[in-house]
Amino acid sequence: GAGVSQSPSNKVTEKGKDVELRCDPISGHTALYWYRQRLGQGLEFLIYFQGNSAPDKSGLPSDRFSAERTGESVSTLTIQRTQQEDSAVYLCASSLGGLAGFQETQYFGPGTRLLVL
Amino acid sequence: RKEVEQDPGPFNVPEGATVAFNCTYSNSASQSFFWYRQDCRKEPKLLMSVYSSGNEDGRFTAQLNRASQYISLLIRDSKLSDSATYLCVVNTGNQFYFGTGTSLTVIP
């Protein structure tokens, strides 16, 4: 079946511009996660959605970062006034979510490689 | 204190060797545990879940010690294709915590 998809796969932008990254989770997955991974480093948690609400936004690095999710499906991560340090791979993952006692598993999309010049 | 800690390595082992990775987690309320594999410039992919009784999948064996809050992954008869970064992942509530990964290179 279809996995998690992300678009665009690559994005090159100029410093100061806004970018929007999209994630389509696996159908039926209520939980959705955004992570950032800088070159050669581990995954950095950004934000988590359960349904359309975001109970945990603690990982967003600054107020330039925001995310939304609609219809318990697609999510967009927006970075305003991009900076060079925003260059990274942005990974989205989804899981079934919210089922107590169930062995939750996350499935990742291929990521969006963002380069800010 | 980090939620999940792993030795970053790198581990460089010859083909056919047995190699073990360890991981500790800080929250005793953590509910489920996983090992993911990440190849260079690719997304993480689930390698295996880790069950309390320990579990095996071919050459891979995962163990969980809840008392010590410790997870391990054993790879037997290493193949060149096992070269990757192995991520320890802990699920607490609806949040997933990732270790920074352990790098493995299997040498011919």
Task: Tell me whether residues A105 and B46 touch, CB distance under 8 A.
Answer: yes
Q: How far is B12 from chain A (nearest CA, A)?
A: 17
Give the model confidence (pLDDT) of B17-30 as tens digits: 999 999 999 999 99
Region of poorest pLDDT, from A10-24, A72-86, B71-85, B93-107: B93-107
pLDDT band at A97 (very low <50, low <70, confident <90, very high): confident
Give chain B positions within 8 Å (CB) of A33: 96
Give chain A positions within 8 Å (CB) of B4: none
Task: Tell me whether residues B98 and A42 touch, CB distance under 8 A.
Answer: yes
Q: What's the confidence (pLDDT) of residue B91? A: 87
Give chain B positions within 8 Å (CB) of A48: 94-95
What one-character-per-residue DSSP string does A32-87 give?
Answer: EEEEEE-TTS-EEEEEEEETTEEEE-TT--STTEEEEE-TTS-EEEEE-S--GGG-
Residues of chain A numbered 57-86 and touching chain B (CB < 8 Å): none
* Neighbouring residues of B80: CB distance < 8 A, sequence distance ≥ 6: B15, B106, B108
Mean pLDDT over residues A18-36, rounded?
94
Q: What's the confidence (pLDDT) of residue A98? A: 61
- How long, in residues, is chain B? 108
Mean pLDDT over residues A69-87, rounded?
95
Residue ranges in chain B whose pLDDT is less than 70: none
> Rounded distance, CA B80 to CA B83, Å?
6
* SS3 (DSSP) at B80: helix
- Which of the 8 DSSP states describes residue B64? E
